[in-house]
Amino acid sequence: MSATEEAEALKLLFRNQYSFLISKIMFTASDLGVFDLLMESKEPLTSVTIAERLGTSPFGMERLLDACVGYKFLQVERKDNQTLYGNTNLANLYLGKRSPKTQYYSLKFNAEFVYTRAQHLADSVREGEAQTYRLSDISTKDFYEAMYRSKSSLREFMEFMHEMWSLCGRDVLNAFDLSNFPLVCDLGGCSGALAKEYISLYPNSTVTILDLPEVVETGKKHFVSSEEHRIAFHEGDAFKDPIPEADLYILVRTLHCFTDEKCVQLLTRLHRACKPGGGVLVVEIVLNEDRTGPLEAHIYGLVMLLCTQGKERTPSEYNALLSAAGFKDIQQKKAILFDAILGRK
């Protein structure tokens, strides 16, 4: 290794050692209201002004703002011997609570729920199990029980899902022409964000969201208007209860939460319920066949290890699951962040 290569390796090592702080920096600035304040001010502000308006320590706020500049969440300019801070386009679009495409609850989920479990990554690697039960206020190993333990945590998780699929839903639905599937069942459809994208793309379609009773109650109350007659909710557990008949079943970021055996069990139930000529649309981040990437899949793989019994999979592994359940003509297409896999009955 040359001196130049070693210097670059050292820089990379240093950055990676502290990269666990990135989600905390983003969420702290968002939660304190930094990005919203700078959006509303219409002009850059000093760290002292930002601290005064948000009720924080000027010393602490300056450290946080400078870190945000380093990660390109904020930008700075010098004027009249003062350092002025302003949002980057990234912050304006995604990082404020009132940003047009806010990811506030996504930041909150990663900075709080995932971050606390990451403290037990070594335990998870040794045991091969989720670490939810190690937290003092949660005794279950089940991810969904942990997320749905209170109305407030359920609502926050649904907000997180709503943000994600309001942002990425249209992209994954555009991967295939789904116009031949007017009757759709979105399993674990949560807030209905993906259902809204589907009926927007295909005006003659209807979507039934199959989810647990507490999710359905919250979805009806806070996310889907009773006047939207093309979206319906159906209470049930997809592993146990009858599944509504549909032309297309959608599983978005669902299979990666479960073991291979549970995935085949679920997919087999869908195949039996599916209309002839219908299909299933699976949305996941798919590993390269040689498992060398993408990095996002490796990161989510560790999140699944910490929080669930599942894992990320390669194309051939998803093909095997779908084939075992009876689906044919399996195709995969890449979207911006996620992959769409379509199997037919």
pLDDT digits (tens, 9 = 90+) for 251-276: 999 999 999 999 999 999 999 999 99
- In this prediction, residue 139 has a pLDDT band, given cuts at 50, 70 and 90, of low
What whole-number distance in Å separates Cα of residue 268 and Cα of residue 188? 16
- Is 256 a residue of the active site? yes
The rounded distance, in Å, linking the Cα atoms of 98 and 107 is 14
Element containing residue 125 per DSSP (H, E): helix 121-127
Question: How far is the C-alpha of 29 from the C-alpha of 38, rounded, in Å?
Answer: 11
Residue 123: pLDDT band by 50, 70, 90 thresholds?
Answer: very high
Q: Which of 120, 162, 256, 271 is catalytic?
A: 256
Are the C-beta atoms of residues 234 and 209 closer than 8 Å to each other? yes
| Helix pair 193-201, 151-173: axis angle to 10 deg | 30
Q: What whole-number distance in Å separates Cα of residue 198 and Cα of residue 178?
A: 9
| Residue 223 DSSP label | T
CB 30 within 8 A of CB 111: no
Structure tokens at 130: 């989720």
227 has pLDDT over 90: no
3-state DSSP helix/strand/coil % of the chain, to nearest 5: 50, 15, 30
DSSP state of 21: G
Bridge-partner residues for 207, per DSSP? 184, 231
Neighbours of 198 (CB within 10 A): 26
The C-alpha atoms of residue 138 and residue 149 are separated, in whole angstroms, by: 8
Beta strand residue intervals within the chain, DSSP E = 74-79, 82-87, 183-187, 206-211, 231-235, 246-252, 274-284, 328-334, 339-344
Number of H helices, E strands in the chain: 16, 9
Q: How would residue 1 be classed by pLDDT, with cut points 50, 70 and 90? A: confident
Residue 85 has pLDDT above 70, yes or no: yes
Mean pLDDT of the chain: 94
Q: What are residue 186's phi and psi, to 5 degrees?
A: -100, 105
User: How does residue 148 score in pLDDT terms, banded at 50, 70 and 90?
Assistant: confident
pTM score of the predicted model: 0.92
